[in-house]
């Protein structure tokens, strides 16, 4: 079944009132999931409200009953991997297994500088992420204490208690489009590949490359869910869509060429359908106007029934 959910920018004005309304709207409206970014600030511009990731996900676990949720994605730079793993284990169990653990290398220098978090070069951050993924795999899936000597992080007879429930811990999501760095990690560690702001042709090419890597790793191709994170510009009428397009400073054609989803309900249904033909199974649609609950309700009414049958 095709799964359609939301992606919220957690640093772009997210506060408790907005977060509660978005979660409730998603739960009531039939969205399959709500993901949020893990940032302290935007890359530029004025500072806005920004809820801490794991506090907000604990809230989501308690305030919802059905939807999946998680970080898209949490950088390895912000917390020691053992702390991220402990947080994820507890929220996974608290939610009844509805957490999806998206992880990444981090990219935004401003927030690291502002809050005194070391921001190493990309090769270092990539090596840290690889350590983190190995630690996640061993701590969640093993039944014995773990000793691990990574390039940047270590474990000494570490063991998760209480044990994750459901067993095995949360599914691991890795986002990005890179064929040389991201996709090999997906093939080795991930349960879900999340392509980001990508056009149709590149998506098809990357998905085929991932299939080849999974074959080489001895993993079934269907063991990795394919998902897409892209922005949606949606309104109930064409005038509302046009206002959103004009706010970007780009043409509709340029936005569509970049892989964005743009239009009223009929156009959105058609565009999602095209992506599903390419193999996308889950959509995490970036919803920038956190106060536009009416828009979410309209999408739930006019778009979701075409994909979320029953």
pLDDT in the model for residue 309: 75
pLDDT for 1:
86
Instruction: List pLDDT tens digits, range 101-120.
Output: 999 999 999 999 999 999 99
Does residue 249 carry a pLDDT above 60?
yes
Name the phi and psi angles at 287, rounded to 5.
Answer: -110, 105
List pLDDT tens digits, range 181-218.
999 999 999 999 999 999 999 999 999 999 999 999 99
Tokens found for residue 256: 């569509």
CATH assignment of the domain containing 99: 3.20.20.30
By the 10 Å C-beta count (0-12 exposed, 13-18 middle, 19+ buried), 251 is classed as exposed
pLDDT of res. 267: 98
Domain count, the chain: 1
Look up the domain containing 20 and give its range. Answer: 3-306
Tokens linked to 243:
């206002």
Long-range contacts of 42-48 (CB under 8 A, 24+ apart): 42/9, 42/11, 42/12, 42/110, 43/108, 43/110, 44/110, 48/11, 48/12, 48/13
The mean per-residue pLDDT over the stretch 229-235 comes to 98
The whole model's pTM is what?
0.96
Instruction: Fill in the DSSP letter of residue 258.
Output: T
């Amino acid at each position: 079944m095709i799964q359609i959910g939301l992606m919220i920018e957690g640093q772009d004005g997210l506060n408790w009132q907005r977060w509660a309304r978005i979660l409730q709207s998603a739960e009531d409206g039939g969205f399959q999931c709500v993901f949020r970014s893990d940032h302290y600030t935007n890359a530029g511009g004025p500072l806005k409200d920004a809820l801490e990731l794991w506090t907000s996900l604990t809230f989501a676990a308690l305030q919802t009953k059905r939807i999946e949720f998680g970080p898209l994605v949490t950088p390895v730079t912000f917390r020691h991997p053992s702390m991220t793993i402990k947080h994820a284990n507890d929220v996974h169990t608290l939610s009844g297994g509805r957490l999806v653990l998206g992880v990444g290398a981090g990219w935004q220098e401003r927030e690291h500088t502002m809050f005194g978090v070391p921001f190493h070069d990309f090769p270092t951050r990539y090596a840290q992420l690889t350590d983190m993924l190995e630690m996640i795999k061993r701590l969640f899936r093993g039944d014995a204490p773990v000793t691990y000597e990574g390039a940047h992080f270590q474990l000494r007879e570490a063991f998760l208690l209480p044990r994750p429930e459901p067993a095995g811990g949360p599914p691991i999501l890795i986002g990005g489009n890179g064929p040389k760095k991201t996709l090999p990690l997906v093939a080795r560690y991930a349960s879900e590949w999340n392509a980001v702001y990508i056009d149709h042709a590149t998506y098809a090419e990357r998905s085929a490359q991932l299939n080849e890597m999974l074959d080489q790793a001895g993993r079934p191709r269907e063991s990795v869910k394919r998902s897409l994170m892209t922005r949606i510009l949606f309104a109930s009428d064409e005038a509302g869509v046009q206002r959103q397009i004009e706010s970007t400073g780009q043409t509709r054609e340029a936005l569509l060429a970049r892989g964005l989803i743009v239009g009223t309900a009929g156009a959105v249904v058609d565009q999602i359908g095209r992506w599903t033909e390419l193999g996308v199974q889950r959509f995490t649609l970036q919803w920038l106007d956190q106060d536009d609950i009416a828009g979410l309700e309209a999408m739930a009414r006019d778009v979701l029934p075409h994909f979320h049958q029953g």
